[in-house]
Structure formats: structure tokens, C-alpha cells
A and B are shown apart, each in its own frame.
Chain A
């Protein structure tokens, strides 16, 4: 077997042609998984009993917590993709970074808005400048700053480099968000997920809908991320062809 015929197992993430072949079936597959999980998650959401303290607002947990968790996960993806683009100059890594930023911003807006709608009846206020809420707002500003920087500079390579550095700086905000409720006094409750301390963990009747909805959000992000990277690969191809045509 010729050495050129041997492919690295992760080639489909670095070679545009292999990525397009992989994503052509992976994107719809993740989309279908997301739709099925969202259907099951919504059923579990509306058959869950009212909480004895929070009443029906407890159902907002099943859309708020997944949005908050995925908004941080997407930023981690943005940081890793930016690092790979900056250090190894992978064109696909740069496309992956650009593609996930608008999705991450949307999930962060959802986390903030659904949190605010949950906070008003439970805390008596739409917003408070405490560490958790403020650090999530900072996360949104990092997403918006990244997108603004990408579109502000005409030189795409310079814009990509500057935005990648900003994305890497923003990674410091992730542990701040995660541990903000432990490091500072906060209105926001601490972790009550499956990984919480014994006694703090959610009962199964609330943990299942949250877990299923989180997996639905994750699959939806996976699908949409792949679709957006595919769009950027085609855009790059179209621009290269347009340039060739202009040069005659």
C-alpha cells in the first residue's frame, strides 16, 4: 500500500473533501437524533410534576440549563478550533471556529433570557449583577466581539488571527462561569445536576428531562455546526472559482 493512500483516522476533520463526505451523512443524522430527543424531552418536560417550591416554573429548567451548558461547550469548541487554526493553520479549523460563534451566541442569549424569565417569579427580579449572570453576559460579549472582529477587518487572514486570539483569551471566562456560584455569593443556585454532591442532586423525575433535553441541544448543535462548516467550505470554493474566472 502506497504511503499516500494511508489516511490518518482523523483525516475527515482536516481534509476538506473527506470532511464534506463525512458531514453529508453526519449532519442529517445528528439532526434526526436531535429531533427525536427533543420530542422525548418535551414529553418528559410536560409530564414532570410541579415542584413543591417552584411550581410550574420548574419546567423552564429543562430549556434553561441545556442552553447554558451548551453555550459554554460551544465556546470551548470555539477556543479549541481557534487554537488549531492559529497554531496549525488548518483551514477547516478556522471554518469550524467561525461556524460555531453565531450558534454559541444564540445559545447564550437563550440562557440569559430564559434565566431572566425564570428569575423574575423565583427571585423577584429580572436581572441582578451577580457573578454567574454577569460572567454569562461576558460570554455573550466574547461571542459578539469575535463576530464583530471577523467582519470588521477587510483582510480575512488578519481578522481570523485577531479573532482567534480574542477567542483564546475568552476561555478564561469558562471556569469563572462554572465556579462563580462557589467563589462568590450569588442568587443563582449551585449545581444540582447528576454530578452534584449527594443530597443536592435532582430527583430522577427532573434529572431525566434535563439530561434528554441537554443531549437534544448537543445533537442540534452538532448538526448545525456541520451544516455551517459545509457552507463555509462551499463559500471558499466559490471565491476561489470567482478569482480564477477574474484572472482569466
Chain B
């Protein structure tokens, strides 16, 4: 198997095309994962706060 990485006179077109493709994938992956992580944490934080508030109100309501 022989790898041909020498694009010769076309390197100025070929490598930027591959570099931009890689950059676009990095952006898509990073943005998607960051968005999912952010909203998951936010939902879990609010859920935990609601649980604590519910328990506090339950304690206060006891005779």
C-alpha cells in the first residue's frame, strides 16, 4: 500500500479543502457536545433545586 500525500502543484487547493473540512467537523462536534452538556447540567441543576425546595417545604409543613 502506497500513500500519496504529495499533491504537487495542486497542494495549494487540495490541503486547504481537507483542512477546512476537518475544521468544520471539529466545530460541529464541539458545538453539539457543548450545547448538550450545557442544557443537561442546567436541567439537572434545576431538578435538584426543585427537589431540595420540596423537601424543605415538606419539613416545614410537619407538626
Contact = CB atoms under 8 A, between A and B. Distances in A.
B35 A224 contact: no
A175 interface: no
Q: How many A residues touch the partner, as a band? A: 35 or more
Contacts of A121: 10, 13
Nearest to B16: A117
Interface in B6-21: 6-11, 13-14, 16-18, 20-21
B17 A224 contact: no
Interface string B20-57: 11001101110111011011101100110110010000
A228 interface: yes
Contact of A238 (B2, B11, B13, B39): B39
Interface residues of B, number: 38
Interface in A56-101: 56-57, 59-60, 63-64, 67
A245 B50 contact: yes
B17 A118 contact: yes
Contacts of A63: 17-18, 21
Interface stretch (A146-154, A192-200, A229-237): A229-237
A235 B35 CA distance: 9
B50 A244 contact: yes
Contacts of B36: 227-228, 230-231, 234
For A47, A48, A117, the residue with the greatest tally of chain B CB atoms inside 10 Å of its CB is A117
B20 A106 contact: no
Interface in A91-115: 102-103, 106-107, 109-110, 113-114
B4 to A, nearest CB: 6
Interface of B: 1-11, 13-14, 16-18, 20-21, 24-25, 27-29, 31-33, 35-36, 38-40, 42-43, 46-47, 49-50, 53
Interface of A: 43, 46-50, 55-57, 59-60, 63-64, 67, 102-103, 106-107, 109-110, 113-114, 117-118, 120-121, 220, 224, 227-228, 230-232, 234-235, 237-238, 241-242, 244-245
Given A110-B21, A234-B42, A245-B46, 16 more contacts: A43-B1, A46-B5, A55-B9, A60-B14, A63-B17, A63-B21, A106-B27, A109-B24, A117-B13, A117-B16, A118-B13, A120-B13, A228-B36, A231-B38, A234-B40, A241-B50
